[in-house]
Structure 1
Amino acid sequence: MDLKHLNPVAAGMDEHRLERIGEHLESRYINPGKISGCLTAVLRRDELAYVHVAGERDLERKLPVTNDTVFRIYSMSKPVTSIALMTLWERGLFTLDDPVSRFIPEWAALQVCVGGSWPEFETRAPDRAMRIRDLFTHQSGLTYDFMYATKLDKAYRELKLGRAQQGYTLQDMIEQLAMLPLEFSPGERWNYSIATDVLGYLIERISGQSLPDFLRTVIFEPLGMIDTVFSPRDEQLEKFASCYTRDAQKRLVLQDDAQASQYVGRSFFSGGGGLLSTASDYLRFCQMLLGGGALGEQRIIGRKTLELMVANHLPSGADLASVAMAGFSETHHEGVGFGLGFASKIQPVRNGYPASRGSYYWGGLASTLFWVDPQEELAVVFMTQLIPSSTFNFRGQLEALIYAALD
């Protein structure tokens, strides 16, 4: 999408109120050095209402953020991978209630952790087998190494499970997980996890294609997402952003140098957190979502399939606050449901932000975020590169600023 041609009037948005977004981000975050730079894009009624670009993508080289800057989107990869796998569901190649072991027979004897530590866990049999639905909804019993909550996530860290390393692949991850128990019996709780990486592996097993090739042919090429990749091409390196974190004095320090990045030449294709993209590309993905699964003449997924995906799949219509284990996720828990790869607002008043009931969203570790609000025909993409995403509440602030600009 060309980010230059704005039409806030046709989008039904107040141009002057939209300008508050850039003023807020520059005065509160960029000028004080809290982030290096950012890009915000707002789409409504299929019109580009607002774009704000500010700061630097590379502080060391003093290179500015531009419309075509390539960002690490981390967990914003999850909705892309989830949509991709559901295109195979639409072909009848699996059901949501299929046991995962149908495609990963090494997992047929997975157990649940009840004590001990790696490599000698105490375990019991799960109450039921893990289903593919459980992977989509993060109710699988898997976890993440960065949770720092249990002996199991510590085992993930010790094994460097799911971490990009020289020669490491999705098959290696699957074999490691086969040696470990689950945090809980599938379907019992909600726990943010490496499950979407497993969905990426299922795409490979079911389709017979590599994950990068499948995403490219099924989603990226049809939508014109020319800059969305797992590893930057040579011509992308000059527009690749560096990533930052903050030291004990709250100063920005380099976390991943764009010109010597850990993303170059990767062999581990993380469907849960490995993609790079641009604001323009990801906005096209959001346009497809707003279009009920289609963008122009390109239909990626069926309208009813998408409705199924963004509905709340938590038990008895619960919100995350009532079923989630303690630990990090890219969302508040109160008033928020979870579907097949997306969080959704089921009781917006409970989390105090104005996005409509039924809006859905996710974010990424480097503080990127998006949301889609079908009721308001609205999509928002925000890109920056600051780890962790819990540092600042960009989502809440942007919701307040953007919904205030609706006519």
Structure 2
Amino acid sequence: MPETLSDVLIRHVRAGTIPGAVGAYGDDDPVAIGRVSPDGAEISPNAVFRIQSMTKAVTAVATLRLVQDGILALDDPVDAWLPELSAPLALPHPDAPLDEARPALRPITVRHLLTNTSGYGMMTTDSALRTAMVEAGVEAGAEPVPFGAQEWLDRMAALPLAFDPGDGWRYHHSFGVLGILLGRVGHGTAEEVLRATVFDPAGMVDTGFTVRPGEEDRLLAAFRRTAEGLTQTEPAGAGFSVAPAPFDVSHSELVSTVADYRAFLRALRDGLLIERELVAELRRDQVPAAAKAEDSFFPGFWAGTGWGYGVSIVTDGAHRGRFGWSGGLGTDFFVDPDGTICVVMAQVEMDDRVFGLLGELQGVTGS
């Protein structure tokens, strides 16, 4: 028998997968299940979460709004605003030695960033480029970014691309570059652009790179599962996500609430943020088959899955046409072709058990 959202969350709280979560399905009020920590108080529906890679959809919509307004074009080379990327070198293949890098065959465009095909991204094999990314401190991880936007971009620009722009797919780093691009194009900060194009129009009062001053106590702690159990990795009400930001965090990720993120998805679905034609493009698979290498992400990722602009796309099966994405601390959302929205937020670093929970959410039928 199909489970409801509450059924799945209650079962996983009892099993110790997560201490608690907040979720919303359809138009029902958010449900709050469990506690803020294994021995903490009951979780509140208005808790603030670190949403990590669910930021990508927001960044994508802000970018498409600038495209809609004629400020950017999808095939604009980004070096007009990011001169650091004006002459990238590219490897002939992702596992090649670094000394085989040669001038890239084409410039990086806005479209390449939106589709994770820029040549920047997570390396999945023990390659020379992966080693270089680790040594430069730019390998992706669950921890907050260690450098300000300019230093991060300079370190990325000093590395070769894993492939010529458009010829492959690698996750994550393109959206850090895209966040910096938003600030440059807007002649301010990425957050100012996000606020003008997405947060304010959608009514997202609790979303930003840091928690609103005076609301710090709503930010939950983050956890990682270890042999000793759930170990805190970021504190409640303090740390990197509390103002003031330690440096320019345009390349970083947001905090938000279930209510805010659902408001974002409703406004996107209803054509209130970008035109419906652009919404259709956002939720269409934009990655050519030749770029979908088996080793470009985790095994089996491309089976029945595509990538649009900042979101994954279900391309086959019962949920064909659904789009959504997850965050590395146990957050997830999807939007079905009929407009049904599901948003869930927890704060345990992704592992097999959390990944299993998020997989089960794909089959829920109500709140």
> How does the TM-score come out when normalised to structure 1?
0.81
Letter in 2 for 1:373: D
Question: Percent identical across equivalent pairs?
Answer: 28
| Cα shift at 1:202 | 1.1
Q: 1:328 to 1:208 in 2, by over 3 A?
A: farther
| Cα shift at 1:169 | 2.3
Q: Secondary structure at the match of 2:185?
A: helix
**Cα distance in 1 for residues equivalent to 2:34 and 2:114:** 36
Does residue 1:323 correspond to 2:293, yes or no? yes
Letter in 2 for 1:255: T
Q: 1:217 to 1:99 in 2, by over 3 A?
A: closer
**Cα distance in 2 for residues equivalent to 1:115 and 1:313:** 21
| Cα shift at 1:220 | 1.0
Within 5 A, what are the aligned runs for 1:8-407?
A: 20-27=4-11, 29-43=12-26, 48-49=27-28, 51-59=30-38, 62-113=40-91, 121-144=99-122, 147=124, 149-161=126-138, 164=144, 168-248=147-227, 251-264=229-242, 265-266=244-245, 267-271=247-251, 274-291=253-270, 293-294=271-272, 300-315=273-288, 318=289, 322-323=292-293, 325-328=295-298, 332-347=301-316, 349=317, 354-355=318-319, 357-374=320-337, 376-388=338-350, 390-391=352-353, 392-402=355-365
Contact 1:116 1:122 (C-alpha < 8 Å) held by counterparts: no
Q: 1:63 to 1:199 in 2, by over 3 A?
A: same
Q: 1:340 to 1:326 in 2, by over 3 A?
A: closer
**Cα distance in 2 for residues equivalent to 1:363 and 1:283:** 14
Higher relative contact order (CA 8 A, sep 6+): 2
| Structure 1 unpaired stretches of 5+ | 1-15, 295-299
**Cα distance in 2 for residues equivalent to 1:282 and 1:307:** 19
Q: Secondary structure at the match of 1:58?
A: coil
Q: Secondary structure at the match of 1:253?
A: strand
| Cα shift at 1:217 | 2.2
| Cα shift at 1:70 | 0.2
Q: 1:51 to 1:263 in 2, by over 3 A?
A: closer
**Cα distance in 1 for residues equivalent to 2:42 and 2:94:** 50
Contact 1:192 1:328 (C-alpha < 8 Å) held by counterparts: no
Q: CA RMSD in A?
A: 2.8
| Cα shift at 1:111 | 0.7
> How does the TM-score come out when normalised to structure 2?
0.89
| Structure 2 unpaired stretches of 5+ | none
Contact 2:108 2:118 (C-alpha < 8 Å) held by counterparts: yes
Contact 1:106 1:175 (C-alpha < 8 Å) held by counterparts: yes
**Cα distance in 2 for residues equivalent to 1:286 and 1:379:** 7
| Cα shift at 1:190 | 1.1
Q: 1:302 to 1:53 in 2, by over 3 A?
A: same
Letter in 1 for 2:20: G
CA offsets 1:25-67 (integer angstroms, 9 cap, x no match): 223x212322110112011xxxx2363311112346x122111
Letter in 2 for 1:242: A
Larger radius of gyration: 1
Q: 1:235 to 1:389 in 2, by over 3 A?
A: farther
**Cα distance in 2 for residues equivalent to 1:312 and 1:326:** 16
CA offsets 1:127-185 (integer angstroms, 9 cap, x no match): 3222221111011110137x56432233222222377567x322222211221101111
